[in-house]
Amino acid sequence: MLSKTTKLILLMIPAALLLICVNGKRAQAEKIELTLEQAIGLGLKNSSGIRSKAYSMGAAAADVANAKASQYTDISVSANYSHLFEQPKTDDMEYDFGSGPVTIPGSYLAAKDSISIAMSAQQTLFTFGKIQSGITLAEEGLRGARIDLEEEKRSLIMQIRRAFYGYLLAREVRVVQEQTLQNKQAALDIARNRYEAGLGTELDVLRAESDLKNFLPEVISARNEVEFAVLAVIDLLELDTAETEYEIVLIGDLEPTYHDFTKEQLVERAMEENSNLQQYRTGIKAAEYQEALARKETLPVIAGFARYSLESGFDSTTGENQFSGEGSWSDLLTVGLSVQMPLSALFPWSGENARAKKADFTLKAQREELSSLEGGIQLGIQRALLELEEEKAKISSGKMQVELAQRVLDTSEQSFANGLITSTELKDAQLNLNAAQLGHLTAIFNYNMALYDLYDLVGVLGIE
């Protein structure tokens, strides 16, 4: 019959084989070691989101160019060719002038094959500011697209930072869990040695074996969390895993970065740099121009135009086309002014008036939303500052708890070896150290996440 120790070893074999397979697979993968700054640089280079925002910004710039084009002369050239399968001709006419009848032969009314060429130009002269309002509206759109692009970059950097520190936390937790497993293995060795020396009981050995076995899934879970954290980083860096498998090793330490902030300083900066506020302000400006443009729809547009055309000739007697020679082409120059006035806009039920009212209500709604957003950001900053102080206190307290729990464990291991305490008391000391270490690491991670939440509220990458 197998002993408890042999059973435990057999249970650990599948996990060991799994780790060997993973390591063997990684031996064929491309290994990449990255610091935080290197990871950020790679992420910015590969980001499809940033490329998409850049294309949107290019489209917005084209909208500005299109709006400005309304200021310039619109020139067009046209050429037409037509063929008549049945050429129209007047009938012969007979007249009697007293000296006998006279027949006047019929004539052709149009050329069988005619060609006409024309060039026209139109210049808007006065629109009561409609064109300029349209240009300004397009420029606000471009400004909004630029804000979107910069926020996409900032957001990606913050996501990479979060994933990076998530990896560091998972790595440190794995170290703690593996160290705890080693402590439990050491406790098992002590219990076994005492039993073999006749100083302990078989029950102590069985308890130590059971404790070691029950803790093994915690270690496997911690190792898996590291793998999951790596996958999150790979996803953000947009590495192509279809053809190449990557082993990412992130270089860094899970340490808090302390800053001294004042609420007034943060709120002032947030009012300037928060991308949501910037977008709302840009949207309000666009709504103002849209409202002005809607009101100007009731005003006339004055434009000048000119058209010069050439049309091929023909012999009205024979119906033959004439493309060369004197009188073969006729030309016509037309110059004038046009005034377009939407008379329907003068009525209160017109679409122009409805659009003007809608623009006015939209503007008022955006102003109210901006005010609400500003208040929410101020409260968020105050909450983030309180959370930072809380996590900072936890870090300080946690560090002392780890040091104390380590001393208690060292003393407990010695006391257990001397038979002064039970295995249950030693297990409690191990768990207390494990909980203190995990709590300390979690407090550091939470502090950094709260700091990043604060940066997101302010709309920056960092505050010096």
Least confident of 202-206, 345-349, 449-453: 345-349
- Mean pLDDT, the chain, whole residue set: 84
Burial class (CB in 10 A: 0-12, 13-18, 19+), 237: buried
377 pLDDT more than 70: yes
Give the residue from 340, 362, 394 where a domain finishes: 340
Quick one: pLDDT band at residue 342, thresholds 50, 70, 90? confident
Q: Do the beta carbons of residue 273 and residue 459 sit within 8 Å?
A: yes
**Which helix (H) or strand (E) segment is 63 a member of?**
helix 48-68
Give pLDDT, residue 42. Answer: 92
User: Is 108 in the same domain as 233?
Assistant: no
State the first-to-last Cα distance of the chain, in angstroms, to the nearest integer. Answer: 67
C-alpha 328, offset from chain centre: 65
Residue 245 within any structural domain of the chain: yes
Quick one: pLDDT band at residue 5, thresholds 50, 70, 90? very low
User: Is 400 in the same domain as 266?
Assistant: yes
Residue 444 within any structural domain of the chain: yes
Give the residue from 340, 365, 397 where a domain finishes: 340
User: Is 287 in the same domain as 411?
Assistant: yes
Q: Do the beta carbons of residue 439 and residue 401 sit within 8 Å?
A: yes
Give pLDDT, residue 22. Answer: 46
User: Is 256 in the same domain as 245?
Assistant: yes
Question: 């019959």: which residue's tokens?
Answer: 1
What is the Cα–Cα distance from 115 to 310, expressed in whole angstroms? Answer: 8
User: Is 416 in the same domain as 447?
Assistant: yes
Q: Do the beta carbons of residue 111 and residue 315 sit within 8 Å?
A: no
Buried b (16+ CB within 10 A) or exposed e, 133-147: bbbbbbbbbbbbbbb
User: Is 109 in the same domain as 172?
Assistant: no
What is the Cα–Cα distance from 81 to 186, expressed in whole angstroms? Answer: 100
4 pLDDT more than 60: no
In angstroms, what is the C-alpha Rg of the chain?
A: 42
* Helical axes 202-237 vs 36-46, angle rounded to 10°: 40
Quick one: pLDDT band at residue 6, thresholds 50, 70, 90? very low
Q: At 401, which CATH number?
A: 1.20.1600.10
Residue 18 within any structural domain of the chain: no
User: Is 181 in the same domain as 330?
Assistant: no
Burial class (CB in 10 A: 0-12, 13-18, 19+), 433: buried
Quick one: pLDDT band at residue 200, thresholds 50, 70, 90? confident
Q: Do the beta carbons of residue 187 and residue 422 sit within 8 Å?
A: no
159 pLDDT more than 60: yes
Residue 196 within any structural domain of the chain: yes
DSSP letters along 389-433, please? Answer: HHHHHHHHHHHHHHHHHHHHHHHHHHHHHTTSS-HHHHHHHHHHH
Give pLDDT, residue 70. Answer: 85
Name the pTM for this structure: 0.77
User: Is 156 in the same domain as 120?
Assistant: no
Give pLDDT, residue 448. Answer: 94
Residue 14 within any structural domain of the chain: no
Portion of the chain with pLDDT greater than 90, in percent: 37
User: Is 328 in the same domain as 358?
Assistant: no
- Tell me the pLDDT tens digit for each residue of 39-91: 999 999 999 999 999 999 999 999 999 988 888 888 999 999 998 888 888 87
Q: Could you list the residue range(s) of the whole structural domain that residue 150 is in?
A: 30-70+132-300+349-458
Quick one: pLDDT band at residue 167, thresholds 50, 70, 90? very high
Quick one: pLDDT band at residue 7, thresholds 50, 70, 90? very low
Least confident of 179-193, 317-331, 342-356: 342-356
Give pLDDT, residue 239. Answer: 83
Residue 13 within any structural domain of the chain: no
Residue 354 within any structural domain of the chain: yes
User: Is 178 in the same domain as 252?
Assistant: yes
Please give the C-alpha separations between residue 33 and each of 58, 236, 314, in angstroms, as whole numbers.
35, 16, 83
User: Is 310 in the same domain as 181?
Assistant: no
Q: Domain total for the chain?
A: 2
Residue 92 within any structural domain of the chain: no
Quick one: pLDDT band at residue 389, thresholds 50, 70, 90? very high
User: Is 104 in the same domain as 151?
Assistant: no
- Tell me the pLDDT tens digit for each residue of 288-330: 887 777 777 777 888 888 999 989 888 878 878 888 877 788 8
Tokens at residue 44, please? 């910015």
- Tell me the pLDDT tens digit for each residue of 215-266: 899 999 999 999 999 889 989 988 877 667 777 888 999 898 888 888 888 9
449 pLDDT more than 60: yes
Least confident of 25-34, 243-252, 421-430: 25-34
